[in-house]
Each structure stands twice: as C-alpha cells, then as structure tokens.
Structure 1
Amino acid sequence: MDLFSRAWNALLKAVADLTDEDFAKPSGCSGWLVRDLVCHLVIDAQDVLITLVTPAETEPTRDSVTYWEVSDKPPTGEDPLDALIVRLASAYQEPGLLKFHLDDVGSAAGRAAELADPGMRVGTRDVVLTAGDYLSAYVLEWTLHHFDLIAHLPGKAEPPAEAVAKTRTIIEQIAGMKFPESFSDKDVLLVGTGRRVATEAEQAELGELAAKLPLIIG
C-alpha cells in the first residue's frame, strides 16, 4: 500500500514538473505524445477510484501478478479506447488544464488508496482481488508509465528505486523466469516490456527467456 503511494506521488510530481513544451514531446508509449499519456493517467486514476468503491463478495480470482493480461502484440493505436484518449487529450487546449485535472483526480485516488482496507475484496475488469493486491499491481502501471513519461525528456526524475525493484519482481513472475543478474532493474523493465531493444550481448545473456519477450502487459 505504501509503495503504491510512493510510486503514484512520484508520478504526479513528475507530471506537475513538466513544462508546456514537454506535453508536445513523444512519450515512451508508441503513437502517444506526453499529453496523451497524461490523459491516460487521468483515466487510470478514475479506475482506481471506481474500483476501490466497488466491493465484491466472492473469493478473489486474481492477485497482483495474475491481474495483468499479457499479449505478444503491441498496441497499434487502433483500439477504440486508445483512440479516444488521443482525442480527449487534444481537447485540453492548455497543458495547465490537463495538469489540474490529473492533480485533482489523482490526489483523490491517492487518498482513497491510503484509506482502503488491504483485505477488502474489490471487483474490476470482471475479476475479483483484494484491494491490497490491486494497489500492488498498480505499482507496475505507475512505474512503467513514469519511464514512458520521461522517455524523451532527459534530466527528469525517475521513479522510486523500490518501485522499480518491485516491478522487476512482478515482470519476472509474469515471465515465469528471472532475468540475468547483470540486468539492472530498469533494464529488466525496459527490455522486458519492449520499451528498449536488447543488445546482441543482452540477447545472448537472456538465453531462452529472449523468446518470451517482449511482454506486452495491459
């Protein structure tokens, strides 16, 4: 729960520190500008709020790792929701308005997470899991998107090291294999999810794991 808050607060601060010019730069998400990614984070924050007030009475069907669906096909931008986010982002004619909206909804999502009972069962995306597992799963979302946000913005603060380490653990559990120890936590995140192409030397080190990559997590 605490790690969720640290990862989320770091991401909110990273957005707050953006200049107006930064919003027009490409992000680490293919086909999305920084402004599109920030708009996606608004939707994410809304999802957190909705999920934490959607109690479930049945037993959990997922945990912090199995919550994520894994595909071998990267997004093309043709998904209706992805296309909608781009249109919504363009409607914010001033970056300051988008910043304000994320700060408003994002702060509320952060408070809701801090107040949530970790053992409470919640429902989302037709699955049931504990609030603690749900928020733990979102450490991956915040951490990967933090790297996406600053992918083309050198000098910006990176996500908390402990959140990057936690995300590495989740990715390794999803893959069912550990990455070589020579890979930094950041390298595991970027290479493992296809955000960076592995070098020839890294490919050799990955061995049979290379055939499983990239993991398109969503």
Structure 2
Amino acid sequence: MDLFSRSWTALRAVVADLADEDFARPSGCAGWLVRDLVCHLVIDAQDVLITLVTPTEAEPTRDAVTYWEVTATPPTGEDPLDALIVRLAAAYEEPWLLKFHLDDVGSAAGRAAELADPALRVSTRDEVLTAGDYLSAYVLEWTLHHLDLIAHLPDAAEPPAESLARSREMLEKIAGTAFPASFSDSDVLLVGTGRRAPTDAEAAELAQLASKLPLVLG
C-alpha cells in the first residue's frame, strides 16, 4: 500500500513539474504525446477510485501478478480507446488544465488508497482482487508510465528505486523467469514490455527468454 503511494506521488510530481512545451513531446507510449499519457493517467486515477468503492463478497480470482492480461502485440495507438484518449487530451487545450485535473483526481485516488483496507475484496474488469493486490498491481502501472513519461525528458526525475525493483519482480513473475542480473531494473521493464528493442548484447544474454518477449500488459 505504501509503495502504491510512493510510486503514484512520484509520477504526479513529474507531471506537476512539466513545462508547457513538454506536453507536445512524444512519450514512450506508441502514438501518444506526453499530454495524451497524462490524460490516460487521469482515467487511471478514476479507475482506482471506482474500483475501491466497488466491494464484493466473492472470492478473489486474480492477484497483483495475474491481474495483468499478457499479449505479444505492442500497441500502435490505433485502438479505438487509445484514439479516444488522444481526442480527450486535445480537448483540454491548455496544459495547466490537464495538470489541475490530474492533481485533483489523482490526489483523491491517493487518499482513497491510503484509507483502503488491504483485505477488502473489490471488483474490476469482471475479476475480483483484494484491495491490497489491486493497488500492488498499480505499482507496475505507475512505474511503467513514469518511464513512458520521461522517455524524451532527460532531466526529469526517474521512478523511485523501490518501485522499479518491485515492478521488475512482478514482471519476472509474469515472465516465469528472472532477467539477467546485468540488466538494470529500468532495462528489464523497457525491454521486457517492448518499449525498446534489446541490443545485440542484451539479446544474447536473454537467450531463450528473448523468444517470450515482449510481454505486453493490458
């Protein structure tokens, strides 16, 4: 629960520090500018709020790792929902409006997470998780999108080290094997999820694991 708050706070802090011109830069998400990614974060924050107030008595069907649907096809930005995000982001017109909305809804999502009972069972996407597992899954979401946000912003702060380490641990569980120890946590996340291609040297170290990549999470 604490790591959810730290990763989410760090991500929102980077957005708060963005200059207006940064919103027109490309992000690490295919087909999305930084402004589109920030708009997506607003939707994510709304999803957190909705899920935490959707309790259920049913038994859990997923945990923090199995929450993720895994495919091998990276997004192109042409999916109808992805395209909708682009239109929504453009409707804000002024970057400060996006910052304000994310701060408003994002702060509420953060408070809701701090107040949530980790053992509470919640429903989302027709699945049931404990609130603790649901929020743990979002550590990976926040960390990946933090890397996406700063992909072309070399001076921006990186995700917290503990968020990177936990996200690597989850991705390795999803992959069913560990990545080479020589890979940094950031490299594991970027290469493992197809955000960048491995170098020849990295591909050689990955060996048979390379055939499983990318792990596209949805």
**Bucket of the pairwise TM-score, normalised by the shorter protein:** over 0.9
**Alpha-carbon shift at residue 81 of structure 1 (Å):** 1.2
1:52 alignment counterpart: 52
2:163 alignment counterpart: 163
1:101-138 deviations in Å (ceiling 9; x for gaps): 00000000000000000000000000000000000000
RMSD over aligned CA atoms reads 0.5
**Alpha-carbon shift at residue 207 of structure 1 (Å):** 0.8
Q: How does 1:17-166 map to 2 (within 5 A)?
A: 17-166=17-166
**2:31–2:78 CA contact under 8 A, matched in 1:** no
State, as a whole percentage, how many aligned pairs show the same letter.
Answer: 79
Q: Secondary structure at the match of 1:156?
A: coil
Total equivalences in the alignment = 218
**Alpha-carbon shift at residue 52 of structure 1 (Å):** 0.1
**CA distance in structure 2 between the partners assigned to 1:31 and 1:67 by the alignment:** 25
**CA distance in structure 2 between the partners assigned to 1:187 and 1:154 by the alignment:** 16
**Alpha-carbon shift at residue 155 of structure 1 (Å):** 1.1
1:16 aligns with 2:16: yes
Q: Secondary structure at the match of 2:67?
A: coil
**Alpha-carbon shift at residue 73 of structure 1 (Å):** 0.8
1:58-88 deviations in Å (ceiling 9; x for gaps): 1000000000000111112222211110000
User: Structure 1: which 5+ residue stretches go unaligned?
Assistant: none
1:192 alignment counterpart: 192
1:215 maps to amino acid: L
Q: Secondary structure at the match of 2:129?
A: strand
**CA distance in structure 2 between the partners assigned to 1:152 and 1:76 by the alignment:** 18
2:176 maps to amino acid: G
Q: Secondary structure at the match of 1:110?
A: helix
**CA distance in structure 2 between the partners assigned to 1:75 and 1:160 by the alignment:** 26
**CA distance in structure 1 between the partners assigned to 2:215 and 2:80 by the alignment:** 22
TM-score (norm 1): 0.99
TM-score (norm 2): 0.99
**4+ runs of 1 displaced by more than 3 Å?**
none
**CA distance in structure 2 between the partners assigned to 1:93 and 1:215 by the alignment:** 34
Q: How does 1:176-215 map to 2 (within 5 A)?
A: 176-215=176-215
Q: Secondary structure at the match of 1:128?
A: strand
**CA distance in structure 2 between the partners assigned to 1:142 and 1:76 by the alignment:** 20
**CA distance in structure 1 between the partners assigned to 2:159 and 2:78 by the alignment:** 29
**CA distance in structure 1 between the partners assigned to 2:102 and 2:140 by the alignment:** 19
